[in-house]
Structure 1
Amino acid sequence: MGPIKKEDVMNANLVKILDPYSAAVLGFNVAILPDAKEQAITDNIRIFTNNVIYRLLEDYIEYAEIRKAEETAKGLSELILPAKLKMIPDFIFRNSDPAVFGVHIEIGTLYPKVTLITADGKKARRVHQIQDKGKTLEKAVKGSEVAISIRGIEIGRDINKDETLFVNVPESHVRQLMGKFLDELTVDQKQALREYIILQRSMQHPWWGM
């Protein structure tokens, strides 16, 4: 009874050693104390709260099932990898149909066919192609300045010409990247992942990606 406390999170962290899928804190119609929220982020423990008991249980069961499914992923090549890029305002080649514009890859590695979002969470749709001097590229690494094309958006209406963009990595992929694949990421990919998690937690909830 009562609000979720730091001790509740610490107890869940002990359970994680034996059963990582049960390592969560569930609260029915209760508040979360600030020190509990901080401890949850430190220990990577997910907290679920809801005022409707069956929805609380559904949320937790769905989470546990997704976590178990994530363990079956075959390798890093199956996951969407993080990247952060900055649009170059002086290199807007086409505003739409498709939009073609220059970007600077600040951190991470950009691949075709990934979806982008802006720094305030707006979807910028999927990267169709990456090009450099007319040559189609399979990827663009940190420090590159390349042109990308995106169908279904209009620069000036859907996105501005100087947006900071992130690859939209699904939460299930983030958990795997932060877990068993973390050592396989480059230093700048890890930085891109950290910044992306901070962005998502600011827009959604403090334990997004756990």
Structure 2
Amino acid sequence: MELETVHLFHGTYKKNAEIINKQGFKAIDIPNVGKINSGTVKSKPGSLGFGLYGFKDNQGLAFNYIKRVCNGTDYEVLCFDIQFHRDNILNFVDSIDDMMLFQHWKENPSRKKLLKILKCKYHNGTKQHSLDGAILEAYIQDMMRLKEFGGPIDAVCSATHTPTDVELNNNNIAMVPNGIEYAVRSNNIIDKVSVKTVDIDSNQLEE
């Protein structure tokens, strides 16, 4: 099966970027299902679960995100490629099959107790949808246990909306997606040679 390649942009603190450029990304930690269900994880999951987040083909969104998060601290935007097989990714952008399978799993009466537990431990805020991420983690681990996937899930992708400076200044944040975000779950799909710091074009970012 042919590999697919996607170009991602990832914002981080400048100190982290320097380490990544020298040593590569650190190992991606996916907590076990027990810790996720009990809410005892060290950090809450992102909207697409645990992993390394990046925006597809859009350095402006990565810039807007990290600028807001760092709040005055030096930051940089990195770009890198990931390569994967279609069967090893959950695609909530344009795969109806992936969307329907996830929906059917959630609607199964046997999941009612689990979803109730997760709703007590996590919530969807304006900046991060931790409940969505926790449910996705439960889904992935359950489907892996049932051997419903063709192999490990190396990444999850979905349409996303990242507020821009204009929206934040006007207190008017749209909900219409303005990009595609990936949560990379395995370092094995990262092309280490492709990792580099982006020379940010401020004129382009303001468009």
Give TM-score scaled by structure 2 length. Answer: 0.23
> Relative to total residues, which structure has the larger helix share, 1 or 2?
2
